[in-house]
Amino acid sequence: MFEVLVFVYENYWRGDACPEPHALERKLSAHGFEPDEIHEALVWLDGLNVAAQNVCMPAQSQLDWSPEPSAGSMRVFSVAEQDKLGADCLGFITFLESSGVLPAALREIVVDRAMAAPGDEVCLDALKIIVLMVYWRFGHEPDALILDELCDDAEDRIAH
């Protein structure tokens, strides 16, 4: 499924530029993706659209990406979320949020879509794709440093 999502991200500039599900299904099939992968991705994208409709976000030019939730608030992850996401993914979500690039409303969509991903666990690379897809759906392009963090393979990095 994640290969299909990457293809969609790379080929459609914004979520609103993506064709309707039936047309997208034909295009994905023409590019050689397996029917079950296409179906999983389309169901996942439909869930992303539903989640996005329930979030009231300001216009792109007015987005406040500050890390300041309401005073004294704290997000506690359920046991199911902890099991599915693991320490690496939860740490990455916290990093993005504390860096001011993932507002609480988008964090909740990221967690929701990660929980909807197939399999028992979500690896960090899959979570990064999910974050990119959430940004994509809202038409937000992360700045270059965050985009590098989302697209870079950390295993190839050399510690100094």
Query: What's the pLDDT at 57?
Result: 57
Q: Does residue 54 have a pLDDT over 90?
A: no
pLDDT at 106: 93
Residue 65 has pLDDT above 80, yes or no: no
Average pLDDT, the chain: 85
Q: Position 41: which residue type? A: A
Local structure of 76: helix, strand or coil: coil
Q: What does the pLDDT average to over 44-52?
A: 93
pTM: 0.83
Are the C-beta atoms of 42 and 21 separated by less than 8 Å? yes
User: For the segment 73-97, what is each residue's pLDDT rounded down to a tens digit?
Assistant: 788 999 999 999 999 999 999 999 9
Q: Tell me how far apart the alpha carbons of residues 136 and 130 are, in angstroms, rounded to a whole number.
A: 10
Please, are residues 150 and 128 in contact by the beta-carbon 8 Å criterion? Answer: yes
- Tell me the two tokens of residue 120: 């028992």
